[in-house]
Amino acid sequence: MELTYYIEKSDGYEPFLTYKIPENMQNDEKYARQLCEFFVTGQKEYELQSNEMKGSEEILIVKEKGPARRFSDETSYKGRGIFLEFRQYQNTGDMPLLHVQALNSHWDVMRYLLKDVVEIPRQGQFLRDSAELDEDRAVYVMYVGEKI
């Protein structure tokens, strides 16, 4: 089983990244990736256009948005486990970090990614805006809007 990212181009689709499953990825990670609207790798940001399947291959079609937007308080979590950052979504400027949650599995991440309203510890409930997987920093990021 494979998970393949394709980049949408003006003249079709180009294979971008392929992950073998379960050799180097658990099934729960595969599904968590599919729930993220944005993907950051190689200092570039990609937006999910389509989530498809073909036989045993899972396919994500993404469109390159340009250089990844960076924030003043970013941290790399490589080799430290599974983390989810909650950031306040803003159209311009920095997106403040509200909370970092260490999680036991990608399954636990999916619990958050599936919600329209999320509870941020010690801060309350917020409307979910979008989510991304930032491979460069090894972290899931959930952007939230207004507090409920």
Q: Can you give the pLDDT of all 148 residues of the chain as single tens digits?
A: 788 999 998 899 999 999 876 655 567 888 999 999 999 999 999 999 999 998 888 999 999 999 999 998 999 999 999 999 999 999 877 899 999 999 999 999 999 999 999 999 999 999 999 999 999 999 999 999 999 9
Q: To 10 degrees, what angle do helices 106-113 and 27-34 make?
A: 20
- Tell me what pLDDT residue 20 has: 78
- Tell me what pLDDT residue 133 has: 98
| Residue 38 CB contacts under 8 Å (≥ 6 apart), including other chains | 45, 46, 47, 48, 65, 130, 131, 132, 133
DSSP for residue 138 = T
**pTM exceeding 0.85:** yes
Taking the CA of residue 85 as centre, how many other CA atoms within 13 Å lie in the half-sphere pointing to its CB?
Answer: 21
| Residue 77 CB contacts under 8 Å (≥ 6 apart), including other chains | 83, 137, 138, 139
- Tell me what pLDDT residue 93 has: 79
Two tokens, residue 139: 């972290």
